[in-house]
Chain A
Amino acid sequence: MRNVIKYSILTLAGAAILGVTGPAPGYAQELTVTSWGGAYSMSQRKAYYEPFTKEFGITVLEDEWDGSMSKVRAMVDTGNYVTHLIDAETSDVLEGCDEGTLEEIDYSRLGGRDRFIPGAALDCGVGTITWSTIYAYDGDVFPEGGPRPTTIADLFDVEKFPGPRALYRDPDPLLEFALMADGVPMDQIFSTLETEEGIDRAFAKLDELKPHVKVWWTAGAQPPQLLADKEVVMATAWNGRIFNAVKNEGKNFVIVWDGQILDMDYWVIPKGHPEVDLAYKFIEFASRPEVMGNQSKYISYGPTVSAAVPFIDPAILKDLPTAPANTKNYLNANVEFWADHSEELRERLEAWLQK
């Protein structure tokens, strides 16, 4: 009797293992895409991954990362590719390209560089969204009818708009905001930051605000959470995250577009990936005007293909970083500057935070 039980358990186990690891029925392709998670990934899922699967029958696996280029480098160095595509920021694209970690894009497979807006067709990255860093405030703390922050200088004005703030723990865009608030014109921001006096000036402005900064956030999901928890009254944030909190969670946050810093995200492919064609297939699909325009239905980031503009959901046009009403006083991100100076200025910032 015992033997029978033992043998039947063994057989069942063996069958189970074979069933799980045995040859799959037919060769179903899979594409892995790495992005930032949260509301942003949700919008990509609805606008890109699900339609892609529907059209090509290829399953899309989602992965998350936090911008650590070290993982991409490790992937390429060891030849152990865990993802086909990564949604990367401008600085990572430029650095990865310089260091040979990313594939150089062949734009002839994507309809040519001219389809894309200026700055979106990088050597190693295909632009996917335009987004910006802004600051938002709690609409309950500064209600309509009373004084409300409208300019970037108001973020630093603790007398007119008192309350704790949350700022991104990164010299970029902290120092640009500080100089803007101190009255430096937009076209002189980066030339000022090149000089020692300019850097001192930015930190002097930040010294005024420092006692009121409650949290120095490091993850994109923190600012809307901190505002919702009433821990802070103002926070710098990525515009899409705030938009998501307002639209999908009914929060009363208000974005201040004055002084916004415009940037882009890009699709990149780790260098030497064996299934590069699959990656191109996805990028080609995601760069179709009607597909890209569809993403605006789910999140307030703008398209990088000029022909996509007519496909944008009209209800969301006013919430896009590139809307005319929002680009009265903005700054384009200057990645070249930060490629040179981010290490030095990050050290300065960390040392300043300790004092």
Chain B
Amino acid sequence: MAATTSTAEMIQTDDGVPLKLKLARAERMRKLGAFALVAPLLLFLVVTFISPIFSMLSLSVKNDVIPDALPETAALIQEWDGTGLPSPAVFRAFTIELAAAKKIKIHGKIGKRLNYEISGFRSLVKKTARKLPPPETSDAEIIDAFIAIDKRWGKTDYWNTIKRSSPQYTAFYLLTALDKRMDAQGNIVQAPEKTTIYVHMLVQTVWMSAIVTLLCLILGFPVSFLIATLPTRKSNILLMLVLLPFWTSLLVRTTAWVVLLQTEGLVNDLAVLLGFWDERIQLIHNRIGVYVAMVHILLPFMVLPIFSVMKGIPPSHYRAALSLGSNPLQSFIKVYLPQTIPGVGAGVLLVFIISLGYYITPALVGGPKDQMLSFFIALNTNVTVNWGLAAALSVVLLAVVMVFFTLYNRLVGIDNLKLN
């Protein structure tokens, strides 16, 4: 007998091992085998994707310019209470280390980092590095020697800035990314009205992405439905037409819109000719241009997931609903639509997240009020080379994506995500 059944004992296999154990073991082996198959890809992803992203994001809190270049000064200045001026020992350490920094040409980086907090620090550091007092200067004279180089060394604010920038980790970049500052006392305050950009930009980015996603959904759903229900030959042609934009470069597509939507461009020409409107409308360098171009580029990302899911919905369900007496509209809403939710969910998520990161398209076809947050990430990465701020802005954007992902999970459910 292969197995004995008894309510008192567990079911056992031939060799006396409980079936439950054997089953668990077999499951484990299967999972291990699956993991072994995935392991190379996982390793590849970790090395080329996850760790670079983590290291980039860590830049948002790393603050190693001052601790690396001025270690002694950084350590000593922490003991200062922040009022008046630091002790002569701090000044002396600063003299020695700034001179050393100048020799290996990293004093520029020091000035640049401090310049983020107080404008003018850059030239102050450069000027001071050229005229440093000798380290043997007595305690009594060294502070005056510094003030003689520049009055600003006699100001508490400037030394407080150095003190704030001394620890290995800083909240400075993250605070800036959220339009906040730390004042002299160490409290977190709102940045002056004239310089607050980022929170507004974040809200604008989310709003614009939401609108683009909605437009893509409204335009994409009927197209997907058409492709899914047509006979194969016709639907293949339509599918190819949807995929056609992918064969041209993103920049080419975007600049093509510039040509079409210009005030003297083709769309306006045609519209005036056909009498749609009399005066030429500005269709580009404003929000309209951005929406048109972005929807054009992101539409395939909406169409494809929805189409794939629709293809898998048996048409008999709809027919069954009709035959049971409901009208076409009701059948569509109650029977067909809920089955497309996984595809719609996937499409919406895909389009939303991609459009959050877009900046080239709004930069080329939008006006100054139509930029996305990623524009500033790119600006700080490439132009101002302020990688700390770029990383901090990326962290903020990532946090927003996480929030939306959690929301989506709650509403639609991650298990409900289907890409085919």
Contact = CB atoms under 8 A, between A and B. Distances in A.
A169 B285 CA distance: 14
A339 B196 CA distance: 22
A99 B106 contact: yes
Interface of B is mostly: helix
B122 A347 contact: no
Contacts of B387: 70
Interface stretch (B41-49, B205-213, B378-386, B399-407): B378-386
Contacts of A340: 115, 119-123
A253 B321 CA distance: 69
A216 B106 contact: no
B143 to A, nearest CB: 24
B245 to A, nearest CB: 24
A216 B107 contact: no
Contact of B264 (A71, A100, A229, A344): A229
A99 B263 contact: no
Interface in B100-127: 104-109, 111-112, 115-116, 119-123, 126
Contacts of A214: 282, 285, 367
A353 interface: yes
B249 interface: no
B262 A344 contact: no
A68 B383 contact: yes
A68 B112 contact: no
Interface in A63-82: 66-71, 73
Contact of B112 (A99, A346, A352): A99
- Residues of B in contact with A, size category: 35 or more
A114 interface: no
A354 B368 contact: yes
Interface string A90-106: 00000101111000000
Given A98-B112, A341-B120, A347-B195, 13 more contacts: A71-B382, A97-B108, A98-B105, A99-B106, A99-B109, A99-B112, A100-B105, A214-B282, A340-B115, A350-B197, A352-B194, A353-B369, A354-B201
22 contacts: A68-B385, A70-B382, A70-B385, A71-B382, A98-B109, A98-B112, A169-B368, A215-B367, A229-B262, A230-B264, A231-B285, A340-B121, A340-B122, A341-B119, A343-B115, A343-B116, A344-B195, A346-B384, A347-B197, A348-B194, A352-B194, A354-B369
Interface of B: 104-109, 111-112, 115-116, 119-123, 126, 194-197, 200-201, 262-265, 282, 285, 363, 367-369, 376, 381-387
10 cross-chain pairs, A with B, having the tightest CB-CB distances, nearest first: A98-B108, A100-B105, A68-B382, A353-B368, A344-B119, A99-B108, A351-B197, A347-B195, A70-B385, A340-B120
